A and B are shown apart, each in its own frame.
Chain A
């Protein structure tokens, strides 16, 4: 039977200190639930940097390409028109007029692509159930999640290490 420990702290800096203390003993902290981003917690508990920005850049270049391709097809290839003596016969000559839409469409694709990727990767979508162990973690409490599955230590050993930190509450649950 595996055990999950939810260790609650009442301050972000206290939690950060406790996390460093436990990690120094070779304990793996599975996750942290907090009401706001705790700066500096990621390297302590081993959260890797997100690659969302790279994804966003790729969405932006997709947008740029699609916009230019579209405008080339609509204005140059399919139905070229002579508008106010400014004929549309080549993409490169018409490019200055196409810059605004190219820019807007790139931003549109980058922003929406990144936002959708963000929501999907997080698994935060309309109607999804909340998974925070205690409702106070979105208010003023900070919870660290530690499981026996991730750690080599026995449950009571882990518990005694956890109890050395300045915690407020500790809840232990069993799961299969």
Chain B
């Protein structure tokens, strides 16, 4: 049997048995919906409906309803896209990279982080979709034979790379998530008493029976998927950054972008995981599974990635001066002292200074501080994308075409709307899906469960 050093904090608190783990996760699914959940999903759904309405209005009228103009042709739309994709990086990072590093603490959070990833990527994909204006011809991004030549899509363009990257990332994450869910759906199926839920979970469980050979294959598939999803995570946000980095706009044309974007994505993704899980563990009484140590581990990831992002900001600033290119220098001087300097300083405060507070053990292990800082980080990361996009293009080479951007009510409506859709989906997940990876948690109960660890120490 596997043993763990006594000095390590247990990952599962309390005197839990295999049955308790099942009860704690499946119990809330079987019971009636709590009132808090009903209130939250109602609010989210109202916001979601408002967002869908705004999107339909945009599609019916054209993207002129956004505040975009000739100079600032990309703004909140692409900011929101990059922000959501960034958030969508934590799930696969937690389940794939941490699986390869054998980090057992991931098991309490990977299921919900992956769900979050999938919903965030759906929200992200909405923006380039509706940005096309005529979404009904969005299949033109695929290399399909057509009557214009055939005129093919341009495989030299980072925007097309993005199409492949985002769609691959979304579908691979979905498959990875679902393969892990199958055995847990089987657990719910076998526990359900009412015929209709039993039938539905039975279909979702694909007839899983937990045979030894199937578990061997399951573990192999998880490992190989983790192995190929790891470079995938890094490639996706690198390719998103190339949408900017391969252009010739001062402030965008930077080789530091791929690593800088990837760490920024992990940074904001973990912050969103913290925001969601701190509410979920309380609401669903999962305090024994997602406890202070898990939060601390995630905060350590936030310090590391936040510091990488901070170094990247300063490097960018230094190189713009050191390059001797006056357009490049101006782009950065304008960033911190021009008309959008307020957004630059919000970004710097939220992303560089605030995560450094996690060096203090008290703050790192405080749930309230973590919750507040996780929201601060996500505000900062939204502003990061806003700063990169808007401040770089609002003043480019030709001063006669300088301009400014003012968001319209549709910019706001669609952004808030995607938050509503996201939370509606996530709340739906929390109610009907196994929110912890049951089959994985049970494998670490004997090595990392509190009661078992105490028992080992006494021997």
Q: B179 contacts A118, CB within 8 Å?
A: yes
Give Cα A39 to B151, complex, Å: 54
Q: A42 contacts B235, CB within 8 Å?
A: no
Q: B187 contacts A42, CB within 8 Å?
A: no
Report if B224 contacts A (CB, 8 A): yes
Nearest CB in chain B: distance from A150 CB, A: 14
Stretch at the interface among B168-176, B306-314, B322-330: B168-176
Give Cα A98 to B187, complex, Å: 44
Main SS class of interface, B: helix
Kindly identify which residue among A50, A83, A108, A124 contacts B182, using a CB–CB cutoff of 8 Å.
A124
Report if B218 contacts A (CB, 8 A): yes
Q: A100-B235, A114-B224, A125-B206 are in contact. Are A81 and B154 (CB under 8 A)?
A: yes
Report if A161 contacts B (CB, 8 A): no
Q: B203 contacts A126, CB within 8 Å?
A: yes
Interface residues on chain A, size class: 35 or more
Interface residues on chain B, size class: 35 or more
Nearest CB in chain B: distance from A79 CB, A: 6
Give Cα A71 to B155, complex, Å: 7
Within 8 A of A (CB), among B190-242: 190-191, 202-221, 223-225, 228-229, 231-232, 235, 239, 242
Residues of chain B contacted by A121 (CB below 8 angstroms): 217
**A-contact bits for B425-456, CB 8 A (1 contact / 0 none):** 00000000000001110110010000000000
Report if A5 contacts B (CB, 8 A): no
Q: A114 contacts B221, CB within 8 Å?
A: yes
Residues of chain A contacted by B154 (CB below 8 angstroms): 75, 81, 83
Nearest CB in chain A: distance from B212 CB, A: 4
Give Cα A35 to B329, complex, Å: 60
Which of A37, A81, A103: most chain B CB closer than 10 A? A37
Task: List the 4 closest pairs (A to B, CB-CB), nearest first.
Answer: A128-B207, A135-B190, A140-B18, A37-B215
Known: A124-B207, A138-B190. 4 other contacts (CB 8 A): A35-B210, A36-B442, A75-B154, A129-B202
Binding site for B on A (CB under 8 A): 13, 31-39, 41-42, 45, 47, 49-50, 52-53, 56, 60, 70-71, 74-75, 78-79, 81, 83, 86, 88, 94, 97-98, 100-101, 103-105, 107-108, 110-112, 114-115, 118-119, 121-132, 135-140
17 A-B pairs within 8 Å (CB atoms) are namely A31-B213, A35-B18, A42-B216, A47-B213, A52-B220, A53-B223, A56-B224, A79-B149, A79-B151, A81-B154, A83-B157, A101-B161, A111-B229, A118-B217, A123-B207, A130-B202, A137-B209
